[in-house]
Structure 1
Amino acid sequence: MKKSIINDDDNFSLALKEEINLRQEQINLEEIKHLSSEDQNLFVEYGIAPKTETPYKNVIHAFEYWASKTPENTAAIFQNLSITYKQLDDEATILALILKQKGIKRGDKVGLYTHRSLEMLIGIIAVLKLRAVYVPQDPRIVPKNMLSEITELSNIKIILTQSDYSEKLDFIKSDDLIQIDIELEKEIYKNLYGNIRLINHVNDNANNSCFILFTSGTTGTPNGVEVTHKNLCNILYNTPGNLGISPGIKVAQILNISFDMAAWEVLGCLGNGGTLLIRGKDIEETAKQANVIIATPTILTSIDAEQCHEIKAVAVAGEPCPVILANTWSKKCDFYNCCGPTETTIVNTMKKCVPNSYELSIGKPTPNNTVYILDNDKKPVKVGDVGVMWAGGDCVTKGYINNDELNKTRYAKDIFLKGENIMFNTGDLGRWDENGELIHYGRIDDQVKIKGFRVELDAITKIIENFNEVKRAVTLKHKNHLVSFISLIDQRATETLLNHIIEAIERDLPYYYVPSEFKFLDELPKTSRGKIDKRKIRTSYLK
């Protein structure tokens, strides 16, 4: 009989003891033996999420379940157009056959270079029906040379697009370019609707890739992250990542197709039987009709919570969330503050917030996942100390395509879990609080030296964003001093507010944390993914 690291006199309920002992079975105890007995217990209790059975092992299985169960339900609405689950399934099947005739098979890479639209959905489902891998990009905002580079890096065989962008994509042979909006209108396909079916795939492997998402990379060179069906099904179709989506629930599709959180909107909705509301130019108009919103905090600040009478759940991720924003929305609905880079599949920690919070956590690891707080030698730090967050479990993606050097730097064998598992260095700093939840301390990249002292830029920003008058803020190092950029709800409050901000920073942080300069902007610039654009701020406002 194996010896438990939980002592009989520890103040655990019997149920919790049994659960922790189950999780302990997964752990290599040798790797945490340097911790105290109590911290060994907490390493397991806090960092190893419960195991749960994921209902699907392939994203397309989830969609096709609802296409067969609720064929006449509305799958998506875009402007004055709508499409049912059956119609979406039929159109995607025809497009899949066209792709198949062009030689696309399981594992092949297909570019999906479209804007938000019904064609975008048809393209996604068509590619997944063939068990191929889609590579999403929005050609309106991505430069032609970068689209060409991504196409080459990904070894893309065919590009699916819309007629608006055919000239921009002239770097690929015309035979390898399919304009979805034109192709599906051809008379030759009209009599096929409702009468064709693809051969059912058997022995689908959950570890097969679903899509490749490109991050900007610190050098500006795009890095393609290969995300599997197992990665996605785990977050999209288990609680709490499913966000309560079910038939009749309307999900706002706000985000850029190339952003990983857009997959949460699209595949999370269609794989749980909901109705997707694809936005046009007006984000708030779509948000007002939605029951579920997934967004970055920067985008959410542009939406008036009081106008969203139908809202049931909101999830934010991608950047730190201001406490005031969380308190505003958690009074109206289930509000989740989440965290996780693309490499850990959208998010790997979630926290359901309560109103009137003073400090936000990013919660706990989602089911079938782990989080470890480690030092620079990959050793667990004492529980409560700040360290680097490493993520393990079903969330960890396959890695970067064609970049073994970066894979060796960021991915590593998970020495804490038994078996052949991989963990990922998120580059985020964090610590466990007394409730077993993660407090986020920003990116390692956001730690700077000022006057010889280490400064965490997010600590300054958090204090500024605690003021009701502040919409968003960001703090950057320029030369050898700090500059805070602030957008206000009411610009008239500037001078009085600034004195209060400085007093709060001086009260809560060491003297060297006080910025030398504060700049007030009407709006902080946003990236195409809805985050604060720090690069643009640097080039535009710091000389």
Structure 2
Amino acid sequence: MNHPSMTSSASKVNVESNPWQRFGGGPRVEPDATLIHRAIEAQAAVRPLAVAAEWQGQSITYGELNRQANRLAATLRQQGVATGDHVALFVERSIPMLVGLLAVLKVGAAYIPQHVRITPAAQLRHIMAVAQVRVVLTLSELAQMIPLTTQQHCIHLDEFIRTDSVASDELNTAGAMSSPESLCFVLFTSGTTGVPNGVRVTQRNVCNILLTEPGNLGMRPGLKVGQILNIAFDMAAWEILGCLAHGATLLIRGQDIGQTAEQCDVLIATPSILATLDPVRCRQVKVVALAGEPCPQALAERWSAFCTFYNACGPTETTIVNTMQHYQGGGALTIGKPTPNNTVYVLDDAGQLCGPGEQGEMWAGGDGVTAGYLGNPELTAERYRPDPFLGHGRMMFRTRDLGRWTAQGELEHLGRVDDQVKVRGFRVELDSVSAALESAPNCERAVTLKFDSRHLVAFVYPATTDVEAARNCCEARLAYYCVPSLIIAVEAIPLTLRGKVDKRLLLEWAVAHQAENARTQQPVQA
């Protein structure tokens, strides 16, 4: 993308006529707090006996959560943790996890969450090295899985809580010099080279989405919020911090996601996870928010019929989500409008603003834009650029998502730049193929992948989907080169540990299917 062209065009921006000025900017709203842990502390002060979280038959009140976090914060200071440091939160879902998370924020440090049982030791080692971690918070049964060096100290959160003999809350954390620009957490996302990149998320970033509407999802005392996602996934912060900042009760799941979901009032998930749940058994759910991958229309219709349904979008680098649509059924499913204090620019290849109906690449600006990648200034410079529209030193982020504005001022998500593939010399958008397949009767989900330079392969769910009917729908709506050569009906769409479609495994299935076809002399169609 030609950034000098984009910069020079910014000086000509007409405030009244340009798309981002008309509907590319979210409303200006002041969050209720500038530090997310202060919002949690406020709930503890007002409702100390309210239940903050439940997990495997155990519970903890807001008052006790705050007191235990104060104790741990004092211990962290004794271990030399200071404002601006990084503390590893290498745990699994539990109540002690919440104590550790809150304590780190109280000392002005940033926590780095990882689910130890499912994260390779080599990746944990890489994270600790990049973040210069000196203190690791974990659980006693997980400690042996963490590759510590002699420079690192480990605190077992469960044992720390059990040895509590302090009856009062005299430990004071007011000395922590946090500011809205202080880091709240660092999330390591999958890098294109296979090396995870640490996204630096600030307190301002977090408060902006969690403490304003609609990102607060109506969370309030008396409601139950599910904690079902991988704790290293940015949307888990939406569950955890969002719930605690608003005084609701966090239901931390065990092995059975459905069992927890059925008890929730507020549910945050990826479309792939939500598709595994039975809406008939989840009638207590009042609010659902989806993000992380495209949402099938049928899924949105099914859940929006009985609860408030949000379809949202935004990479980790823009803090959880930066656009949301309140979908009420029967209309166009989009990713909505920018959330408060955020902006979205749809730009063409020359960096010029696109008008309604024109496809371009989405760049994100405003208070959700994070502080770049930890220890990787080159990648930060590549993906984050000065925002010529907001100016004043603000930055914007290249999302690599394709989109266009509707006439109503909402954003249509048209897939990833990475999902535009060449097949037989033609450019194909994989999400468009999946959408065409999903229009077939009884097809609830479709995933399309590039198999090789000449072929696409698609997977449709459920297994009872009429493959030929799906193929016919695709042929009727798209050019011949967009029609998958192989369509496989499956009993389930496999998911990664973060709840998204496992495309690598699907390609392995396609290879196995092709091998079986070859064995039975049924080659893939040319």
TM bucket (normalised to shorter chain) is: over 0.9
Measured at CA, do residues 538 and 109 of structure 1 come closer, stay the same or move farther in structure 2, by a change above 3 Å? same
Pick one of 172, 177, 180 that aligns with 2:149.
Answer: 172
Which string of whole-angstrom CA distances, capped at 9 and with x for unpartnered residues, describes residues 168-213 of structure 1?
1143339601111122222xx31x2323222414764101100000
Amino acid of the structure 1 residue aligned with 2:95: L
Quote the residue 1:521 is aligned against: 490
Cα distance in structure 2, aligned partners of 1:311 and 1:389: 32
Amino acid of the structure 1 residue aligned with 2:423: I
Paired residues for 1:336-351 under 5 Å: 336-351=310-325
Q: CA deviation at 1:29?
A: 11
Quote the residue 2:3 is aligned against: none
Q: CA deviation at 1:311?
A: 1.1
Quote the residue 1:429 is aligned against: 402
Q: CA deviation at 1:48?
A: 1.3
2:155 is aligned with 1:181: no
Amino acid of the structure 1 residue aligned with 2:323: T
2:354 is aligned with 1:377: no
Q: CA deviation at 1:255?
A: 0.2
Pick one of 468, 479, 495 that aligns with 1:499.
Answer: 468
Cα distance in structure 2, aligned partners of 1:183 and 1:170: 21
Determine if contact 2:440/2:473 at 8 Å carries over to the other structure.
no
Quote the residue 2:507 is aligned against: 538
Amino acid of the structure 1 residue aligned with 2:503: K
2:4 is aligned with 1:31: no
Amino acid of the structure 1 residue aligned with 2:188: F
Amino acid of the structure 1 residue aligned with 2:450: K
Which string of whole-angstrom CA distances, capped at 9 and with x for unpartnered residues, describes residues 23-62 of structure 1?
xxxxx99627488x9742x331210112111111111111
Cα distance in structure 1, aligned partners of 2:439 and 2:273: 18
Determine if contact 2:457/2:510 at 8 Å carries over to the other structure.
no
Pick one of 113, 125, 136 that aligns with 1:136.
Answer: 113
Which string of whole-angstrom CA distances, capped at 9 and with x for unpartnered residues, describes residues 129-152 of structure 1?
111110000011001111111111
2:446 is aligned with 1:509: no
Determine if contact 1:162/1:179 at 8 Å carries over to the other structure.
yes
Which string of whole-angstrom CA distances, capped at 9 and with x for unpartnered residues, describes residues 454-491 of structure 1?
100000111223345234321111112343443433x3
Determine if contact 1:223/1:401 at 8 Å carries over to the other structure.
yes
- The 3-state SS of whatever aligns with 1:412 is strand
Pick one of 126, 132, 135 that aligns with 1:158.
Answer: 135
- The 3-state SS of whatever aligns with 1:93 is helix
Cα distance in structure 1, aligned partners of 2:157 and 2:120: 21
Which is further off, 90-99 or 141-150? 90-99
The alignment's C-alpha RMSD in Å is 1.8
Amino acid of the structure 1 residue aligned with 2:158: D
Cα distance in structure 2, aligned partners of 1:129 and 1:171: 24
Measured at CA, do residues 226 and 471 of structure 1 come closer, stay the same or move farther in structure 2, by a change above 3 Å? same
Structure 1 residues without counterparts, runs of 5 or longer: 1-27
Quote the residue 2:171 is aligned against: 197
Quote the residue 1:402 is aligned against: 375
2:280 is aligned with 1:291: no
Q: CA deviation at 1:366?
A: 0.2
Amino acid of the structure 2 residue aligned with 1:353: Y
Identity of aligned residues (%): 45
* Length-normalised TM-score, structure 1: 0.90
Determine if contact 1:161/1:180 at 8 Å carries over to the other structure.
yes
* Matched residue count: 506
- The 3-state SS of whatever aligns with 1:434 is coil
- The 3-state SS of whatever aligns with 1:82 is strand
Cα distance in structure 2, aligned partners of 1:369 and 1:99: 35
Q: CA deviation at 1:415?
A: 0.2
2:444 is aligned with 1:465: no
Determine if contact 2:87/2:137 at 8 Å carries over to the other structure.
yes
Q: CA deviation at 1:384?
A: 1.6
Cα distance in structure 1, aligned partners of 2:172 and 2:361: 47
- The 3-state SS of whatever aligns with 1:156 is coil
- The 3-state SS of whatever aligns with 1:400 is coil
Q: CA deviation at 1:418?
A: 3.2
Paired residues for 1:349-364 under 5 Å: 349-357=323-331, 359-364=332-337
Cα distance in structure 2, aligned partners of 1:65 and 1:55: 11
Measured at CA, do residues 417 and 29 of structure 1 come closer, stay the same or move farther in structure 2, by a change above 3 Å? farther
Quote the residue 1:390 is aligned against: 363
Amino acid of the structure 2 residue aligned with 1:429: L
2:300 is aligned with 1:326: yes
Which is further off, 503-512 or 170-179? 170-179
2:36 is aligned with 1:51: no
Pick one of 444, 456, 474 that aligns with 2:429.
Answer: 456
Structure 2 residues without counterparts, runs of 5 or longer: 1-6, 513-526
Determine if contact 1:29/1:416 at 8 Å carries over to the other structure.
no
Amino acid of the structure 1 residue aligned with 2:100: G
- The 3-state SS of whatever aligns with 2:408 is coil
Pick one of 190, 212, 232 that aligns with 2:206.
Answer: 232
Determine if contact 2:456/2:483 at 8 Å carries over to the other structure.
no
- The 3-state SS of whatever aligns with 1:140 is helix
